Structure 1
Amino acid sequence: MLAEHFELIEAIGLNLFFAFIFVFIGLSINDVMKKNDVPKMGRFVVYFVLFLGCAGFIAKGIIQYVWESQGVG
């Protein structure tokens, strides 16, 4: 059974790894900004850019899923 679902397990593991990395980067950036007293506008910009990076991976996953379900990819 494991050999049959290896690709699915690999995809889920990779997505969880990316989620962990984004959370870890967010916590690291938060710690650095708190220690250096960054203004609220600067924090907003940094979190917005981090969110855009995360949203890009989510959009890629959605587009990939739609294309594969339609037989394009």
Structure 2
Amino acid sequence: MLAENFELIESIGLNLFFAFIFIFIGLSIHDVMKKNDVPKTGRYIVYFVLFLGCAGFIAKGIIQFVWETQGVG
């Protein structure tokens, strides 16, 4: 059973790894900005850029899923 589902387990693990990495990056950026008294506008810009990075990975996952279900990839 493990050999049959190895690719699925691997993709789920990789997606969880990326989620944890983005969470840790967000927490570390928040800590640095809090210690250095960054203005709210700067914080919003930094969080927006971090969100765009996350959104890129989410879009990639959705596109990959759609292509694989249609037989393209």
- TM bin (shorter chain): over 0.9
Map 1:42-53 to 2 at 5 A.
42-53=42-53
Moved over 3 A (4+): none
Letter in 1 for 2:31: D
TM-score (structure 2 length as normaliser): 0.99
Map 1:1-40 to 2 at 5 A.
1-40=1-40
CA distance in 2: counterparts of 1:72 and 1:18, whole angstroms:
25
Give the drift of 1:22.
0.1
Describe the SS at the equivalent of 1:38.
Answer: coil
In the alignment, structure 2 segments of 5+ residues that lack a partner are: none
| Identity between Structure 1 and Structure 2 (%) | 88
Describe the SS at the equivalent of 1:32.
Answer: helix
Q: How many residue pairs get matched? A: 73
Map 1:57-72 to 2 at 5 A.
57-72=57-72
CA distance in 2: counterparts of 1:3 and 1:68, whole angstroms:
20
* RMSD of equivalent CA atoms: 0.2
Letter in 1 for 2:51: F
**Residue-by-residue CA offset, 1:43-71 (whole Å, 9 max, x unaligned):** 00000000000000000000000001001
In the alignment, structure 1 segments of 5+ residues that lack a partner are: none
TM-score (structure 1 length as normaliser): 0.99
